[in-house]
């Protein structure tokens, strides 16, 4: 337990040190239909990088050079300032208020006024919503007509300057076809039923006799170790998915903590169940239910939208969520079935 606490404390401390400044509220989507891509910074500047984060809802600017980089607002006024001393935000820039949420905030500031700088952080990294780089309206008509095809919606450009030169970060905004949600939910049902049958199935004497010594041993091994192996796989996938979401968001939020806890709990339950301890059914069932809820249903938006809030392809996020829901519910169902079989005559063998 002390090891787990140390690891968790290290993760939280590391993220607290390295977290970028945020120039907006925390309203990133769980998934998106719009792919924002950064194509170039012109002219190139050593030490300056910009990428999309939060499923394309935000941009992240990192600068390791000696100069001061300014991001200009919608009227060409100074909006953000990034330098070795950290990140500052101009309280007089209308962008400060318009970028508060994905759909636009309240009006405020005066683009013609002298900048009124406020320090956001001491590290030269900042993330912000920029309405020039993401879609704010309803579904585009062309996407409504042809939802199964990708569509280029526009090319975008955001001006920067370093006091001497002007720069531009340019990119594209595309509609990404939605995945077939029903197919993923069907996969969840198949996984869940398979795990439930595997965990709740008993190898009868007749089946073992028909299968022969080798076949009977194989069936018994699958029956004993299969649920534990699946629990380890699902728990591991949930931890990877949780880590990806933290990396993409650049901050550690409460829902991330619950996700890590559910994944770690699933692995702990698998380790507890492996020696066939008396409470193995309860441990696997409880951990499976928590995993399905916190790392599955809570993240199921990725089944309906193409862009997931992870730094890799959304396909892997969907696979992880499907595994968490299917395996988690399957283990919970198997545990409930086996616990329900316990009667005065004896005690059912653990799921694993």
Sequence-ordered list of residues with C-beta below 8 angstroms from that of 342, at least 6 positions apart, any chain = 348
Of 143, 158, 175, the position where a domain reaches its end is 175
348 found inside a domain: no
Please compute the mean of the pLDDT values over residues 123-136 and round it to a whole number.
Answer: 92
Q: How far apart are alpha carbons 289 and 347 in whole angstroms?
A: 23
211, pLDDT greater than 70: no
36 and 165 in a single domain? The answer is yes
pLDDT over threshold 60, residue 226: yes
* Residue 337: per-residue pLDDT: 80
pLDDT digits (tens, 9 = 90+) for 290-348: 999 999 999 999 999 999 999 999 999 999 999 999 999 999 999 888 777 654 333 44
Is the same domain home to 203 and 326? yes
The pair of three-digit structure tokens given for residue 184, joined into one six-digit string = 């993923």
Same domain, 332 and 193: yes
How far lies 69's CA from each of 78, 122, 282, in Å? 10, 14, 56
Instruction: Looking at the structure, tell me whether residues 169 and 190 fall in a common domain.
Output: no
Element (H, E) at 87: strand 86-90
Q: Domain for residue 347, yes or no?
A: no
pLDDT over 70 for what percent of the chain? 81
Q: pLDDT for 17-40, tens place per residue?
A: 445 666 555 566 789 999 999 999
Q: Which of 334, 327, 340 is nearest to 352 (CA)?
A: 334
Mean pLDDT computed over every residue of the chain: 84
> Does some domain include residue 1?
no
Which of 127, 144, 175 is a domain's end point? 175
pLDDT at residue 14, as a whole number: 41
> Between vectors from CA 87 to CA 81 and to CA 92, what angle results, nearest 5°?
55
Q: Is residue 269 domain-shared with residue 322, that is, in the same domain?
A: yes
Q: Where residue 225 falls among pLDDT bands split at 50, 70, 90?
A: confident
Asked if the structure places residue 119 within a domain, the reply is yes
Burial 127-146 (b: 16+ CB within 10 A, else e): bbbbebbbbeeeeeeebeee
Q: In this structure, are 118 and 194 located in the same domain?
A: no
Query: Looking at residue 338, what is its pLDDT?
Result: 78
CA 209 to chain CA centroid, nearest Å:
48
Predicted TM-score of the model (pTM): 0.79
Any domain includes 8: no
Evaluate whether residue 13 is within a structural domain: no
Based on the fold, state whether residues 194 and 287 are members of the same structural domain: yes
Strand 21-22 versus strand 125-128 pairing type: parallel
Q: Is position 43 within any domain? A: yes
Residue 15 pLDDT exceeds 70: no
Q: Cβ(146)–Cβ(8) under 8 Å? A: no
- The total domain count for the chain is 2
Q: Could you give the C-alpha distances from 167 to 115, 120, 159, 162, in angstroms and in order?
A: 20, 23, 6, 8
pLDDT at 250 over 70: yes
Compute the chain's Rg from CA coordinates.
25
In this predicted structure, the answer to whether residue 5 has a pLDDT above a threshold of 70 is no
pLDDT at 17: 40
In a domain, 324, yes or no: yes
Q: List CB contacts of 141: < 8 A, sequence separation 6 or more.
A: none
Residues 274 and 127 occupy one common structural domain = no
> Under DSSP, is residue 150 helix (H, G, I), strand (E, B) or coil?
coil
Q: What range defines the domain where residue 37 resides?
A: 22-175
DSSP 24: S
At which of 129, 148, 175 does a domain end? 175
One domain, residues 147 and 232: no
Query: Contact 285/196 with Cβ under 8 angstroms?
Result: no
pLDDT at 201: 59
Write down the pLDDT at residue 69: 96
Unique residue bearing structure tokens 């170039």: 40
Tell me the C-alpha to C-alpha distance, in Å, between residue 81 and each of 72, 78, 97. Answer: 9, 8, 16
How many other CB atoms are found less than 10 A from the CB of residue 16? Answer: 10
Nearest alpha-carbon partner for 289 in 321, 271, 260, 266? 266
Q: Are 205 and 330 in the same domain? A: yes
Q: Report pLDDT for 122.
A: 94
Please tell me whether residues 186 and 169 are part of one structural domain. no
Q: What pLDDT does residue 159 have?
A: 97
Q: Is the pLDDT assigned to residue 47 strictly greater than 60?
A: yes
Q: Is 171 found in the same domain as 38?
A: yes
């Amino acid at each position: 337990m002390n090891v787990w606490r140390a690891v968790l404390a290290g993760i939280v401390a590391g993220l607290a040190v390295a977290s970028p400044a945020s120039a907006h509220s925390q309203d990133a989507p769980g998934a998106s239909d719009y792919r924002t891509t950064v194509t170039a910074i012109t002219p190139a500047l050593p030490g300056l990088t910009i990428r999309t984060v939060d499923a394309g809802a935000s941009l992240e600017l990192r600068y390791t050079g000696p100069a001061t980089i300014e991001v200009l607002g919608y009227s060409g006024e100074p909006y953000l300032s990034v330098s070795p001393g950290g990140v500052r935000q101009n309280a007089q820039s209308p962008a400060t208020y318009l970028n508060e949420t994905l759909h636009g905030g309240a009006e405020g500031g005066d683009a013609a006024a002298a900048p009124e700088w406020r320090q956001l952080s001491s590290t030269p990294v900042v993330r912000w919503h920029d309405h020039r780089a993401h879609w704010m309206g309803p579904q585009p008509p062309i996407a409504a007509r042809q939802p199964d095809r990708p569509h280029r919606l526009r090319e975008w450009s955001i001006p920067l300057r370093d006091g001497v030169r002007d720069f531009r970060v340019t990119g594209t905004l595309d509609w990404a076809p939605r995945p077939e949600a029903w197919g993923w939910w069907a996969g969840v049902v198949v996984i869940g039923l398979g795990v439930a049958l595997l965990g709740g199935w008993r190898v009868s004497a007749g089946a073992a006799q028909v299968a022969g010594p080798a076949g009977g041993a194989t069936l018994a091994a699958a029956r004993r170790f299969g649920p534990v192996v699946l629990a380890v796989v699902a728990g591991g996938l949930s931890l990877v998915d949780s880590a990806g979401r933290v990396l993409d968001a650049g901050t550690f939020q409460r829902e991330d903590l619950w996700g890590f806890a559910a994944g770690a709990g699933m692995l702990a339950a698998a380790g507890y169940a492996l020696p066939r301890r008396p409470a193995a059914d309860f441990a696997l069932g409880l951990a499976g239910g928590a995993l399905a809820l916190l790392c599955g249903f809570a993240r199921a938006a990725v089944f309906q939208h193409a862009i997931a809030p992870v730094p890799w392809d959304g396909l892997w996020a969907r696979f992880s969520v499907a595994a968490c829901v299917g395996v988690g519910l399957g283990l919970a169902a198997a545990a409930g079935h086996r616990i329900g079989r316990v009667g005065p005559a004896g005690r059912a063998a653990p799921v694993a």
